Amino acid sequence: MFRKMMIAAVVAALPMTTVLAQESRATRGDAEKMVKKGVELLKSGGKDKAVNEFTAPSKSYVDRDLYLVIYDLEGNCVAHGQNPKQVGKKLIALKDPDGKPFVQERVDLAKAKGTFWQDYKFTDPLSKKVLPKQMYCERVTDVIVCGGVYKDGA
């Protein structure tokens, strides 16, 4: 009897864990707001200050699964909120698991549009799984400031 009650309790709690997991993820609105905040810092404080604030292990511009990255218009990583080992690397040829050259696409979109959303796949820092991601980006002179959200498949 006790075992049946425990199983029923666990099954009843499953929808709550899905809701909590979804609530723990950043939204498209959060991404736009953080990128705009980052652009403001870049414009007011300069590139060096922004790079230091955006790059891990600083957590000034990290919120759950949302973090900022900066690329220059040649596809070089200038700042990265999750992986400082990427900073200084030319990533223009980087492809997602489906073979999409997402950094090249990001540079092309920045040159053509300035402000845009981009879809690709990337490793989620929360689950460590490759998930669909949507990246919001704004070009500021010679750099692109981006922040993205993950779709957890739920």
| Residue 16 falls inside a structural domain | no
Other C-beta atoms closer than 10 Å to the C-beta of 95 total: 13
Contact yes or no for 6/35 (Cβ under 8 A): no
Dihedrals phi, psi of 37, to nearest 5 degrees: -65, -40
Residue 54 belongs to domain spanning: 26-150
Token pair in block for residue 28:
């498209």
pTM confidence score: 0.82
**Counted domains in the chain:** 1
What's 107's domain CATH number? 3.30.450.20
* CA-to-CA separations, 134 to 47, 51, 70, 131, in angstroms, rounded: 24, 22, 15, 10
Between the CA of residue 138 and those of 6, 24, 30, 73, what are the distances in Å? 50, 25, 14, 12
Q: List, for residues 48-103, the tens digit of each pLDDT value.
A: 999 999 998 989 999 999 999 999 999 999 999 999 999 999 999 999 999 999 99
For residue 8, tell me if it sits in a domain.
no
The percentage of the chain sitting over the pLDDT mark of 90, rounded to a whole number, equals 75
